[in-house]
Amino acid sequence: MLFNSFEFLIFFIVVTVLYFTLPHKYRWALLLAASCIFYMFFVPAYILILFFTITIDYFAGIFIENAKGIRRKRFLWLSLLANISVLAIFKYYNFINENLTNLFGFAGTENPIPYLHIILPIGLSFHTFQAMSYTIEVYRGHQSAERKFGIFALYVMFYPQLVAGPIERPQNLLHQFHEKHSLDFIRIANGLKLMLWGLFKKIVIADRLAPLVDVVYNDPTQYHGWAVILATCFFAFQIYCDFSGYSDIAIGAARVMGFTLMTNFRTPYFAQSVSEFWKRWHISLSTWFKDYLYVPLGGNRVNRSRWFFNLFITFMVSGIWHGADWTFIIWGALHGVYLIVAIISQNTRSVMMKSIGLKEGSHLSNFINTATVFVLVTFAWVFFRANSLNDAVILIQNSMVFSGSGLIEYISANGWQTVVLAFLFVAFLLITEKIMVNQSADEFVNRFSQYTRLAIYVIISLLIINFGVFGGNNFIYFQF
Amino acid sequence: MNKDHKYFFVRLGAVLVLVLCLSIVANILLYPALKLTPWSWGAELVDSKSHQLQNPNGKFNAVVLGSSRVYRQVDPQVVDSVTDGKAETRLFNLGANWLFPPESFYVYDHITKNENGHYDYIIIELAKVSSVDFKNLHTVRTIYWYNLSDLIFAITASWNSNFSIIEKGYNTFVHLIGYTDNIINLGYITEAVRYLNAAHSFDQKVNGNGFQFLSVDQNEADMFEEENTAKRNSRFLRDTSVVTKRSEISRKQFSKYSDNPKLLKSYNIYYSATLKKMITDAQKKGTQLIFLLSPRIDKKQYDELIPLFYSLPEENRIEISDSRSYPELYLAENSFDATHLNQKGSRIYSRILGEKLNDLVILKRRP
């Protein structure tokens, strides 16, 4: 079920009303049933995979807590192995096999390993990572094992964040299912405000930009120069609005029912460095990798070369997490390289800035930093969005060719009105986020007077209704 | 309910009422004044065809409109050749995929409103009041044509039909959604911009008289066929018995009513009254409005449509559906798929339609 669908609107209203109508002791059961229905709207049978990992991790948590010494570690590894195996089979098996086929091809033989004809379960990487964080935290002693199976299942399956996060930690979410949430209309109003803003970003901006990106990326040889550059910039905003829009709706929907989910985005395109970008983009995933991979590898408390290795590996794995394709691996690796180069060049950059008279923290220096980060991040998005590595290379080559089908052909193919509207909405987003900086939509809007707030709600609603794209477009991150 | 709760609902209500009022104002005043889109914009084929029909050079005196059963089966050239010297038609095919009432009535209203909109004959395919698949809700095609009178017709006709209570409830629900989407302009600007970008190439897509028979070879050139017709055709060729089943259904249904004419009295009174009023209004404008019962309808539709059809005046109805009378329209060799005729079949069908039109002229001239 998509957040931007009519079915979800009905589902959300019904579930929320029932949630507050039912006595506290039955609410978890309602949420679990609702989450099952929500998930089964995609491919019903895949709920069995979910229950497989839930069962494994539920018992693993209890066994880890009850065990002592080396046995604790064994149970943890068993749980991690089960989770990673599910990921490996459904997400990476065919990718690995495809690469083996290429290797066998080089050797002049045929790959005897058969391919699997399976569909990737929706949001698999999200709920698997959330389940893994539970067993790791129980092992570390930061979280006690959940004894109630239903509550644990709900922790993994909670519908607002089931298919695209935020990837929660048990310390933040699990205890909330035991707590009684009363009907708090201020909280409900704040949740609805977040949902409205998320819907605006998804329906009005992301889905409007999608065809403008697709036209270039689905036919990479067709366009050159500014057309490729513009489509890539549009993708930067499409993926941001799509994913942060989803997160806002998820956080808002949970908040309406009294649950607090972690912030997932904080105006990332205003970051002053790539490192800061990762503190503002998909925060729940970047902190997951930091806590469970980067720090255990030694983080930055090791020698310089090992530190760089840790950074590079963490971002490579982050790339693989996103998708089983070399494009994602290169995207992750690029970000790893950006961070390493940023560390190496830190002193040189400071000297350069001083030599041209640029004061650190000045408006101009901030602008240059933000623009540089945007260019770097957007360049990496080429690999993220391209349909294949070959396509990515063609697009990068074509972006530097300023002859042939360029901007004029791109605008005439899409219609100038479509391009102008896209520009206007991206500008609107940037201005709004610049004013918002470090505040969520509800916090921002609450600063205004009652009548200004009313006007904002009405204007945003009218923009969604009149300028929205109502085709039930999927969210990009569902594929992960 | 405490003060906070009341305050919340008052604010929520205020937002909803304001959004609704401003949307209605935009729907009634702003968007019509901007003239971004013509009346037919939501159905690409209808839009192209109506554009062509209203071209004064066309000089058509008759129009046939309905679903793909009209679009793919009524060849105006054949009809005109048969009516030459009798009914004297110069027919335009305004059929389009899934064009059923009330959308087809909306199209009828608009083509007759136009200054070039006088026609001697207008033939409308008789069909049950259409519903909307849940997955198609909020799409332009299911929004653009709604107005209050069409909404009232759709819901009332549905409640007066032989549908089950669940179907009636569902129809009411989806029509209310469609109408609400229309009055709040759901996605209007986005779709209008898309329309404006695409409209320039419309005229190249329609043949002179609006007809395009179904053919596997023409699929790629056929911009309007959303379903893969080649697949449909090959599925049909693998098992042509489906058309025999359709023939059997038609025979049984028509026999049921001819054997027991009392059953014909159980027609949808509201639907029939609407059609009769349309006939009277058309007559005042000098147009003979004719309702056409197409072949290969399913059993349930026959139960709704046969009594409705016979409730209409004789000179305003044409039936080319009974497999007992028209066995050639149920032969595999004349079929493209289970529900449509191929080019050969369409010629036979069009010839019959021409002859029926000639018969109606004779009938009308009778004192």
In the predicted structure, residue A437 carries a pLDDT above the cut 80:
no
Residue A480: band (very low, low, confident or very high) from pLDDT cuts 50, 70, 90: low
The answer to whether residue A322 is catalytic is: yes
Phi-psi region of B361 (alpha: psi -120 to 50; beta: other; left: phi over 0): alpha
Q: B280: helix, coil or strand?
A: helix
Residue B220: band (very low, low, confident or very high) from pLDDT cuts 50, 70, 90: very low
Q: What's the order of all strands across the beta sheet hosting B288-293? A: B91-93, B62-65, B121-125, B288-293, B317-319
Q: Do A201 and A248 form a contact (C-beta atoms < 8 A)?
A: yes
pLDDT of residue B198: 77
In the predicted structure, residue A118 carries a pLDDT above the cut 90:
no
In chain B, residues with a C-beta closer than 8 Å to the C-beta of A208 are 190
Which two three-digit tokens encode residue B193?
């911009």
Q: Do A95 and A449 form a contact (C-beta atoms < 8 A)?
A: no
Residue of B6, B19, B24 to mutate, testing the A interface (most A Cβ within 10 Å of its Cβ): B19
* Distance from the A458 Cα atom to the nearest Cα atom in chain B, whole angstroms: 6
* CA gap A85, B331 in Å, rounded: 57
Average pLDDT over residues A15-26: 93
Residue of A453, A465, A467, A473 to mutate, testing the B interface (most B Cβ within 10 Å of its Cβ): A465
Look at B11 and A461 and tell me if their CB atoms are within 8 Å. Answer: no
Q: How far apart are the first and last CA of chain B?
A: 74
pLDDT of residue A350: 84
Residues of B with CB under 8 A from a CB of A: 4-5, 7-8, 11-12, 14-15, 18-19, 22-23, 26, 137-139, 177, 184-190, 193-194, 196-197
In the predicted structure, residue B46 carries a pLDDT above the cut 60:
yes
User: A28: which residues sit within 8 A by CB, 6+ positions away?
Assistant: A148, A150, A151, A154, A177
* CA gap A130, A146 in Å, rounded: 14
Chain B interface includes A169 (CB < 8 A)? no
Per-range mean pLDDT, top range of A78-82, A102-106, A350-354, A411-415 = A78-82
* CA gap B356, B364 in Å, rounded: 12
Q: Dihedral sign, CA of A350, A355, A360, A365?
A: negative
* CA gap A2, A473 in Å, rounded: 8
Q: Do A335 and A329 form a contact (C-beta atoms < 8 A)?
A: no
Average pLDDT over residues B297-308: 92
* Distance from the A466 Cα atom to the nearest Cα atom in chain B, whole angstroms: 5
Over residues A356-392, the pLDDT tens digits come to: 888 877 888 889 999 999 999 999 999 999 999 999 9
For B238-241, the CB contacts below 8 A with 24+ separation are B240/B332, B240/B335
In the predicted structure, residue A174 carries a pLDDT above the cut 90:
yes
Cis check: omega of the bond before A211, within 30 degrees of 0 = no
From the list A188, A192, A415, the residue facing B196 with the nearest CB is A415
Chain B interface includes A189 (CB < 8 A)? yes
pLDDT of residue A186: 87
Phi, psi of B289, deg, nearest 5:
-90, 125
Average pLDDT over residues A204-228: 93
Q: Kindly list the distances between the CA atom of residue A423 and the CA atoms of A48, A245, A475, in Å, as whole numbers in the listed order.
A: 44, 18, 21
Which two three-digit tokens encode residue B140?
């332009």
Which two three-digit tokens encode residue A101?
């086929």
Residue with tokens 């109502």: A470
Phi, psi of B85, deg, nearest 5:
85, -10
Interhelix angle A47-66/A70-87, nearest 10 degrees: 170
In chain A, residues with a C-beta closer than 8 Å to the C-beta of B187 are 465-470
pLDDT of residue B201: 57
Which two three-digit tokens encode residue B176?
């209310």
pLDDT of residue B203: 55
Chain B interface includes A466 (CB < 8 A)? yes
In the predicted structure, residue B367 carries a pLDDT above the cut 70:
no
Q: B44: helix, coil or strand?
A: helix
Average pLDDT over chain B reads 88
In the predicted structure, residue A22 carries a pLDDT above the cut 80:
yes
Look at A421 and B138 and tell me if their CB atoms are within 8 Å. Answer: no
pLDDT of residue B107: 94
Least CA distance to A457: which residue of chain B?
B15
Look at B196 and A183 and tell me if their CB atoms are within 8 Å. Answer: no
Q: Kindly list the distances between the CA atom of residue A19 and the CA atoms of A11, A13, A286, A393, B163, in Å, as whole numbers in the listed order.
A: 12, 10, 32, 51, 35
Q: How far apart are the first and last CA of chain A?
A: 16
Look at A465 and B5 and tell me if their CB atoms are within 8 Å. Answer: no
Average pLDDT over chain A reads 91
Query: What's the half-sphere exposure (Cβ side, CA atoms, 13 Å) at A326?
Result: 8
* CA gap A435, A450 in Å, rounded: 19
Strand partners, B204: none
User: A373: which residues sit within 8 A by CB, 6+ positions away?
Assistant: A269, A271, A272, A273, A274, A276, A277
Cα-based angle A30, A32, A34 (whole degrees, multiple of 5): 65
Average pLDDT over residues B169-192: 92
Residue of A6, A423, A459, A470 to mutate, testing the B interface (most B Cβ within 10 Å of its Cβ): A470
* CA gap A178, A182 in Å, rounded: 13
Give the lowest-confidence range in A82-86, A351-355, B312-316. Answer: A351-355
* CA gap A347, A457 in Å, rounded: 47
* CA gap A168, A352 in Å, rounded: 41
Give the lowest-confidence range in A93-97, A405-409, A425-429, B159-163. Answer: A405-409
* Distance from the A186 Cα atom to the nearest Cα atom in chain B, whole angstroms: 8
In the predicted structure, residue B221 carries a pLDDT above the cut 50:
no
User: B90: which residues sit within 8 A by CB, 6+ positions away?
Assistant: B59, B60, B61, B62, B76, B80
Chain B interface includes A16 (CB < 8 A)? no
Average pLDDT over residues B98-115: 89
Per-range mean pLDDT, top range of A63-72, A82-91, A114-123, A235-244 = A235-244
